[in-house]
Amino acid sequence: MAKASKKKSPTKALFFIQNGYLCTAMKKLIIFDLDGTLLNTIDDLAMATNHALAENGYPTHAVEAYNLFVGNGINKLFERALPEEARTPENVQRIRASFIPFYDAHKRDLTRPYDGILELLKTLSDNGLQLAIASNKYQLATEKLVNYYFAETPFVAVFGQRENVPIKPDPTVVEDIRRLANAEQAETLFVGDSGVDMLTAQQAGVTAVGVTWGFRSVEELRTYNPDYLVAKPDEIRQLLGL
């Protein structure tokens, strides 16, 4: 069996998991990003944002463009989607007002869990690991999607963008979840598909796992020197030695 390539950074080892390296510290809490990590939501997000843009007289975008628009909350999504000269707080609120009801009605049209995610969550839960979600999607949509697609998964916390709580990459959401789970930093794994997620994990002092099946590129993930990179959900199971 060929060994996975191994690259050193000044502070951490970076692994690309192909056949599996075991995480050396025992973990009890796995925190997941939602969009681009557990769920492929990009088509429905693009459709709803394009609807809102068109309704307000602005040009729309190809679905692929939204891979770089998402990740920092919906207001930042709208700001990025608007023409540069139209990126005012007032216009962002207009797009938001058009987006929310449309997305609420269509958020499950094309959204699906990535292949292998349901099996991974069941395996982790069956092995006694606590699971949680930390998303920058607004809280109501986060809860609705999780309740629909992952109704059988016992999450200890499902946090989206909450009022008066800073969003990722601020580490507050990870710290809140760790307190609920009674988990130390060394016992926590954070899994996400973007540089925002990797920076969140670093600032929270927990193990960072970047997934390459999501919205952002491998190059972006590597820029943030995650502890691990995985190409398939089952490699997270291998990483944990399950």
Q: Among candidates 110, 106, 37, 30, which has minimal Cα distance to 70?
A: 37
Q: How does the average pLDDT of the chain come out, rounded?
A: 91
Work out the burial of residue 118: count CB atoms within 10 Å of its CB; fewer than 13 is exposed, 13-18 middle, 19 or more buried: middle
**pLDDT score of 87:** 97
Quick one: average pLDDT of 223-227? Answer: 94
**pLDDT score of 241:** 87
In sequence order, the 6+-apart residues with CB closer than 8 A to the CB of 179 are none
**HSE-CB of 190 using CA atoms within 13 angstroms:** 32
Cα Rg, the chain, nearest whole Å: 18
Give CA angle at 143 (166, 29), nearest 5°.
Answer: 70
Amino acid letter, 161: Q
Higher pLDDT, 22 or 13: 22
> Does the predicted model carry a pTM greater than 0.85?
yes
**pLDDT score of 214:** 97
Beta bridge partners of 161: 138
Q: Considering the chain, tell me which residue range(s) the CATH 3.40.50.1000 domain(s) occupy.
A: 6-40+113-239
Q: Please report which confidence band the pLDDT of residue 25 belongs to, taking 50, 70 and 90 as the band edges.
A: low
The class of domain 42-106 in CATH terms is mainly alpha
Distance, in Å, from the CA atom of 39 to the CA atom of 242, rounded to the nearest integer, reads 23
The superfamily (CATH) of domain 6-40+113-239 is HAD superfamily/HAD-like (3.40.50.1000)
Helices (H), 3-55: 42-55
Q: Is the pLDDT of residue 45 over 70?
A: yes
Amino acid letter, 114: Y
> Element (H or E) spanning 31, and its range?
strand 29-32
In sequence order, the 6+-apart residues with CB closer than 8 A to the CB of 37 are 114, 191, 192, 193, 197, 211, 214
Q: Considering the chain, tell me which residue range(s) the CATH 1.10.150 domain(s) occupy.
A: 42-106
Higher pLDDT, 8 or 116: 116
